[in-house]
Structure 1
Amino acid sequence: MQGELASHSYPIAPSTVWEILQAAGIAPAPQRSGPTWRQFLTAQAHGIIAADFLHIDTISLKRLYALVFIEHGTRRLHLAGVTAHPASQWTVRQARNLAMTLGCRMDSLRFFIRDRDGQYTRSFDAVFEADDVEILLSPSRAPRANAICERVVGTLRRELLDGILVCNEAHADAALTEYIRHYNGHRPHQSRQQLAPDSDQAPTLATVTDLHTHRI
């Protein structure tokens, strides 16, 4: 008899499950009382840094990979490096270089968001954990969990990479470095009231010179 009952399944409506849990005093998902992911990112923006890879195809059909980091609070963008072989050792080295570049600013960071790519090893995470930065892994196939970094990757494609032919690693590195200099120093950001990442005040109106009369 028990075997016969076990071999049959009976569909139960979600409302029935909810009533049973309510009667037993069990909340379906206690975590729902906390902040949403978006609220968390907004509240902790000044302590968050995120990373992502983007691929670049050269004119010889060789695929390159660039590792970029972005600070949520200031939207400051960092190019870690460009390589054709993003091995784990290379990735760890870029993380160490970033930590040295940030210097004392690492003390203000509390969270590091990354996906579950195999290039991010335990040694890579240890670079950030050494400065008490907590690693937050985004869920698989959930680009919105790392939306700011995904968005800047799209910006790099639309405003730079889609408009040039990349020859090799050195060319890609030089082009990205030059664009990121513009991005951090001059490109306005809506989330920062149209300020560039490296700017603390709005730009003043440029003085226009009459080239014919040399008058201002």
Structure 2
Amino acid sequence: MALRLLYMFLCQMLGWLVLCGRSSRSKDAEILVLRHEVAVLHRHAPRPRLSWADRAILSAMTRRLPALLRRRRLVTPATLLAWHRRLVRRKWRQPPARPGRPPLADDLTTLILRLAKDNPTRGYIRIQGELRRLGHRVAAATIRRVLRRNKIPPASVRATEQSWRAFLHTQANTLLATDSFHIDCTITLKRLYVFFVMETGTRTVYVLGVTAHPTGD
């Protein structure tokens, strides 16, 4: 494009040198014809589409004309000023800022979901407090939006819809599991029944009794 602009400037300079050798009467006649052609174009032709090189030539050459002749050109002085303002805005334009708050990081979103699933009774404020203790400052509204987007209900609903796995995870230290099994002696083939209890949290097993008659007194 720079070569095209240079070529157009050279053509204008050659045209100006040719005009230097012509008489004033011939120049005046050509100016009158050109003004009439411009008037005809304004009346009948659609608005022309100018390239950036055409705009540069017109802006540079129109400055040499008297103020009265500038108004009768294909491009008005107001259009030239609009081109200049557009160039200034393009030069000093700041990159467009993204509207709204920046999105949460994926690892922070995963942490919010994990806290909500592992702690069904904790609401938005308590999750916000846990995040703050971990060094993350997140608004309660943002936490609510993340949970709603992932179809996780509020704490009041999650507490009533708690799964058995989540119940065991939260109440493991207070639960006891009980069961029994039997063993057969190698020599006498006598069957013994063992009754035991296991602490769910520590997996500690306590044998409560061994008997050969589980249905007896």
Fold shared, TM-score > 0.5 on shorter chain: no
Q: Which has the higher strand share?
A: 1
Larger radius of gyration: 2
Please, what TM-score do these two structures have when normalized by structure 1?
0.25
Choose between structure 1 and 2 for higher RCO, CA contacts under 8 A separated by at least 6 residues.
Answer: 1
Q: TM-score, normalised by structure 2?
A: 0.25
Higher helix share: 2
